[in-house]
Each structure stands twice: as C-alpha cells, then as structure tokens.
Amino acid sequence: MPTITYPVGGGGIGANIQGPTRQSINGVVNTSTASQAFSSGTETIPTNANLIIPSHGLVTGAAFEWQWSMSKTAAGTAAPTFNIKVGSAGTTADTTRFTITGPAQTAAVDTGFYMLSAQLRAAGASAVLVGTLFGQHTAATGAGFGTASATNGYQVATSSTFSSTTAVEGWFVSLSLAPGASAVWTVDYGIYKAFF
C-alpha cells in the first residue's frame, strides 16, 4: 500500500481538511475537540468526520473508523440514523452509501460512546462498503439512546454496489448523524481515522 503524505499545518491536500489533522502510517486521523450540538431531524456531519481520499483513490481493503462521545437530553424518542457518505463536497450533499438505523430512543437523559467502522470490501466499478456500528451508554437498559446496556448496540450494514473509480483524490468518506425528530444531541469529541 502507498503511504499518504498529507502535510500537517502546511499547504497541499492537507489544507483541504479543517481542524486538527495528523499523519498516520498509510492513513490520516482527524479529531474534534469542541462540543457540537445537533438539532432534531437534521442530518449533520460532525466536525472533521469527513475523511479525505488520497491521490491513489479508494482501494480494496481501505478502512475507516469514526469514534465519538455524545449525550442527549430527555427530548426525542425517534430512531436515529447513522450514514456513511462518499463524494466531492465532504458535506451531507454527498451520496449516502449505507445507513444504519439505531433503536428508538426514550425520553431520558443519556451519555454514550459510539464507534462506526467501515471497510471497502471491493473497489472499482462494483465497489462495496461494509460497516458496523457499536454503541455503549450509561442509562438503564433500553433507555436514553435505546441500546441495551448489557449487550450494547451492535448493528451491521452493506452498501449497494457503486463505482469507486470516481472517488478520486480530494473526495471524502464521511459520517453523518441524524438524531431523529425532537432529539437534542451533543457530540463532545471525536476521533476519526482512515487507513488506505
């Protein structure tokens, strides 16, 4: 695998990513340190959760991981969605490649830690992304974020086939969150990684 040579705090491709970016062997790590509020019913990409694609594009085995800590108020009982997008904008305007629908929330305050990992199982004209969402939270079983405390939340998804040949240097693979109607979430911090 080729090594990504994004500069840190300099010019070039690295300058396309806002916020802290660090070099990693064959990859990139983005972080967010400031709390970010999510309004109900609105799909939003957490700060710096859009991972930039390097010069060689997407290759089979490319892996992505988003980890974040978040909290919710007692508002909101709808099922949230967690979406993985690929596109040139690095925004919610990009194409959603797969969606994981979480369990229905309850009217309880909660704090949780989530991780969504994804891998490009196949690249090219018939590319496929597979992903797994894992969540753990502090409220009682089934309360708050709705995932079971004992077994934790564990869900998987697979994209439809798509052409990864158009996902070129400077495009993004991003995580977006949609808390659901009336829900009020705050992402406290995030660590987002890509390995190519």
Q: Minimal CA–CA distance to 106: which of 142, 135, 159, 132?
A: 142
The C-alpha atoms of residue 66 and residue 20 are separated, in whole angstroms, by 15
Least confident of 11-15, 62-66, 87-91: 11-15
Mean pLDDT of all residues in 96-102: 95
Triad 180, 155, 144: Cα angle to 5° = 45
For residue 166, give every residue at least 6 positions away whose Cβ sits within 8 Å of its Cβ, in sequence order, or none.
none
Is residue 174 a contact partner of residue 22, using CB atoms and an 8 Å limit?
Answer: no
Q: Could you give the percent of the chain with pLDDT greater than 70? A: 84
Greater model confidence, 178 or 144: 178
pLDDT tens, position by position, 27-36:
899 999 999 9
pLDDT band at 2 (very low <50, low <70, confident <90, very high): very low
Domains and CATH numbers, the chain: 12-195 (2.60.120)
* Displacement of CA 130 from its chain's centroid (Å): 13
Q: Which DSSP symbol is given to 18?
A: -
pLDDT at 139 over 60: yes
pLDDT tens, position by position, 147-196:
765 445 679 999 999 999 988 899 999 999 999 999 999 999 999 999 98
Q: Tell me, what's the pLDDT at 148?
A: 60
pLDDT at 10 over 90: no
